[in-house]
A and B are shown apart, each in its own frame.
Chain A
């Protein structure tokens, strides 16, 4: 996996909440047995009209977003199906990071990204950045004021800097284990296999304890 340390690129602003994985990569593209070739189909039904021409209204089709590599969206991004093809499509289109807001709900905090999408992103080196609703709103405004605005996402310092009319700098939280895996581009299976001995002794114990057939 390619490590993620610090990255600067153009922002694409997708002002939609609850973007589901069916929109990110539609079912007809899930028949491929390869791991590549999904980028051209990202957001297919929104990106193209019925005749297959690019829909000029869709943010990714704006001339200013042609080289975009940081996607900003609203809350609950990646909800729905577990298809990892969604992450592959986002990455293969050219995005390195996705930014979305968490939401307050009473004393609870509703995460910005759906669980499985977030996990799948981590396994592929796609950084998911959670900011507050207010901070994400400021990024949307910066992108509207200056189409094609750039941002820097720095995982090491855990900051997003938007190089807009006014410079915006926001800190974000990330679990230490996630940061370690992304910054070092670690192979998750390799990490688990270091515990092969533990797994074997667990299996012996587990098989003896659990009822047969379990």
Chain B
């Protein structure tokens, strides 16, 4: 029987599988950031251990960083955390892209930017959205701080082999429906725990038709379906992306030829078996908007806020709690919801393509009166490219705030936060209670939907919006 993409990568990286069935898996790339690493470095120091492969470890600052003024970090606690990362990287010989670096950015944006993210590799990071890198056909997943310490010390992780789940999107989505709508649709169908224990593999015509940016958006939110990793087989789109621009760590020349031979062996064999499969007709997918307090509470933009006892997979109590938090009445059309803030950015939708998409909608228009719009590029490289194309001016002319790179209002660890009761159309990945600020109300949408909501001051169905 044939093998899946996941099995091929797994076998290539299995160092040893002791009798207890927990494989020691080799890690090709370890990305670290300021929030989940300090205690791991402390652990190394306490045990007198070194970083086994500093040359495979790359660090940046993203979660905590201010996106307005970089000259001074006003929050002393945030500063201490960033200083700790600088000190740890110096002490252990790890490359760091700090706030002074032109390569700084959200860890899942800079990996692909720099050519660190490559097909057939294993990538981990102390962040659940590490699944993003699966868009290249890399086995990439988020880990906790103890595991960060484990990888620092051994370059390996003890892992039980996950089950495989094939999700096929047949047909093509119709513009302006996007990758974000595809993944939100899936999460709505299988729920936020539907992928727990699995590695998702996305395939089918609609996935093949996506750009790498769209594929990253999809894989990014695999964790929102409970799956630690999402995978898409590499193809010409992948190879073209890796060869494009200056990606300092991507193979070139003879190395690229050797790499291509390996990459082309990776796609799942036609007779490979999966533990679970699901087929979704992509042509029927409408723009998606979350209405509740987890990404599985999502519906078509044409929908109405649900009655508490009518939502499959959720108890009446769950739905009542969500609607109460979100300040919503059952039966209200989604398009009637007035928006206070729009956030465009994050590791889900903070890439150049996302900014281009949003800028097309803002061009020659203005954000509605009273709507605050934050546009936060995913990396400094993305910011420079966007500025070179004049996107920043389009955003500013429309009344948006144009910021420096960072995680920003996706998790609101820095000063970019919602106030209690504020309603936000956000291109990020989580609509949990308080995620974007205590009492803040988050609706997850695509960049197109977010920008159109900014212009109108309420959600609109972009398919029929002019």
Contact = CB atoms under 8 A, between A and B. Distances in A.
A binds B: yes
A23 B294 CA distance: 12
Contacts of B84: 33
Contact of A211 (B81, B262, B315, B420): B262
A154 B228 CA distance: 29
Interface string B378-418: 00000000000000000000000000000000011100000
B20 A193 contact: no
A118 B21 CA distance: 18
Nearest to B251: A213
Interface in A155-214: 175-177, 180, 188-189, 191-193, 195-196, 198-199, 202-203, 206, 210-214
Instruction: Name, among B193, B194, B296, B430, the residue most crowded by chain A CB atoms within 10 Å (CB to CB).
Output: B193
Nearest to B159: A119
Contact of B262 (A87, A119, A120, A210): A210
A212 B255 contact: yes
A85 B145 CA distance: 8
B154 A45 contact: no
Interface string A104-118: 010010110011100
B250 interface: yes
A198 B262 CA distance: 24
B47 A189 contact: yes
Instruction: Name, among B156, B256, B413, the residue most crowded by chain A CB atoms within 10 Å (CB to CB).
Output: B156
A213 B144 contact: no
Contacts of A203: 26, 155
- Grouping DSSP codes into helix (H, G, I), strand (E, B) and loop, the B interface class, with mixed when no group exceeds half, is loop
A214 B434 contact: no
B199 to A, nearest CB: 11
B363 interface: no
B443 interface: no
A88 B15 CA distance: 30
A55 interface: no
Given A76-B226, A110-B193, A188-B158, A199 B24 contact: yes
Interface string B86-121: 000000000000000000000000000001001011
B143 A82 contact: yes
Contacts of B63: 30
Interface string B19-34: 0111010101000000
A26 interface: yes
Instruction: Name, among B77, B318, B434, the residue most crowded by chain A CB atoms within 10 Å (CB to CB).
Output: B434
B15 to A, nearest CB: 4
A27 B412 contact: yes
Interface stretch (A13-21, A60-68, A91-99, A145-153): A13-21
Interface in A1-56: 15-18, 20, 22-23, 26-28, 30-35, 45, 50
Contacts of A81: 127-128, 411, 430
A189 B52 CA distance: 12
Nearest to A187: B47
A213 B250 contact: yes
Interface stretch (B36-44, B206-214, B337-345): B36-44
Nearest to B42: A35
Nearest to A123: B146
A188 B28 CA distance: 20
A177 B430 contact: no
B294 A79 contact: yes
A76 B42 CA distance: 31
A150 B24 CA distance: 39
A116 B158 contact: no
A26 B262 CA distance: 43
B89 to A, nearest CB: 14
Contacts of A75: 193
Given A189-B47, A202-B16, 6 more contacts: A17-B318, A120-B145, A193-B154, A195-B16, A203-B155, A212-B251
Top 10 A-B pairs, shortest CB-CB distance: A211-B259, A84-B144, A120-B144, A123-B146, A33-B38, A177-B20, A82-B142, A76-B193, A84-B145, A82-B128
